[in-house]
Amino acid sequence: MLGKLLANIIANPDAENYRKVKAMNKQMEELLTRSSSGVRLLKMTGFNEKSGFWVNDLDVKYLKVIRADMDLGFRKAYT
């Protein structure tokens, strides 16, 4: 899910709706925010909790690097 969130921001850098997700979103809770590790991942990738949303304000150039590093890590882990 985190990879998809980042990919959406990268593909649509000027669309604010891709930069924020409701904190009470069911999928966010199930996949990320239920655990402290998931919350740390969100924060490490530029998301901050603001007024009931997880918001990412990082410049797209940094998100591209983060996304590429995530992809590389997954490839190394599963090959």
16-46, pLDDT tens digit by residue?
999 999 999 999 999 999 999 999 999 999 9
Tell me which residue of 10, 4, 8, 2 sits closest to 61, measured CA to CA: 10
As assigned by CATH, the class of the 2-77 domain is mainly alpha
Paired with 20 in beta bridges are 55
Q: Are 78 and 71 in contact (CB under 8 A)?
A: no
Answer left, alpha or beta for residue 51, where phi above 0 means left and psi between -120 and 50 means alpha. left
Instruction: Give yes or no for a contact between 1 and 25, defined as CB atoms under 8 angstroms apart.
Output: no
CA atoms of 9 and 17, how far apart (whole Å): 9
Percent of residues, the chain, with pLDDT higher than 90: 92
Confidence of residue 79 (pLDDT cuts 50, 70, 90): confident
